[in-house]
Amino acid sequence: MSHRSGRMQAIRLVAAVVFMFSQLFGHAAVSQDDYEIFVNKYAEIHMQFTTDDMREAPLVELLNDVESYLEKNVSSADAWIALARVKFGYANTQGPIAGMRLLREVKENLETAIELDATGQNGYPQAFLGYLYAGVPSWPLSFGNAKTSRLYLDQALEIDSDSVENNYLKAVVLVADEDFETARRHIEIAESKLDSMTELSPAWQYRRENLVSLKNRLPKL
């Protein structure tokens, strides 16, 4: 048995036990509100604090909160996605060696989320994985792989082609590859989706800021 298959069997076993107890004692799964609380707090930290050094302490606190929450909601894909998002932010505050180790954990967290719900958060885990595979070094330093990145990003857009997150992360990778014309189209889709929202949560405000920054990197028309 491979390490990965063994790990997933263990996760499924724990998830089954949690589900059994939830039926007996009324334990609730992660709600969309729970997920949004973590995501909004993550965005607020990044908007309030401007450097990685300033962000480290509040991200550690948030990471501890998410990990504690996950212990009670191990069968929820959203809980694993929230963990991946916060851990990714924390990884960026660490040195190269510790940061790379954390990014491997982020990858595993996202893979677990997909195992639990293949279309969770409208394909965001797949888009996030695509972004990771494009951004980290390739073997033997890390798991970076351009082909795998494209596959995951395409999967995400197949799940939801209008998703802000899917289009933003696709655009980030395209800008890095200097495919500016295609990146512009994905940025426009994401911006259009945000424009259609009547009110923006902190998470969507933060993503709008990201889109503006990314758009400024495109050549002028």
Residue 33 is predicted with a pLDDT of: 85
Phi, psi (degrees; rounded to nearest 5) at 141: -75, -40
CA–CA separation, 56 and 62 (whole Å): 10
Phi, psi (degrees; rounded to nearest 5) at 201: -70, 170
In the chain, the domains with their CATH numbers are 1-117 (no CATH), 122-221 (1.25.40)
Q: Which residue do the tokens 């495919």 mark?
A: 179
Q: What predicted TM-score, i.e. pTM, was given to this entire model?
A: 0.85
Residue 221 is predicted with a pLDDT of: 78
Q: Which two tokens stand for residue 213?
A: 């920054």
Q: Which residues of the chain have pLDDT under 50?
A: 13-29
Residue 25 is predicted with a pLDDT of: 32
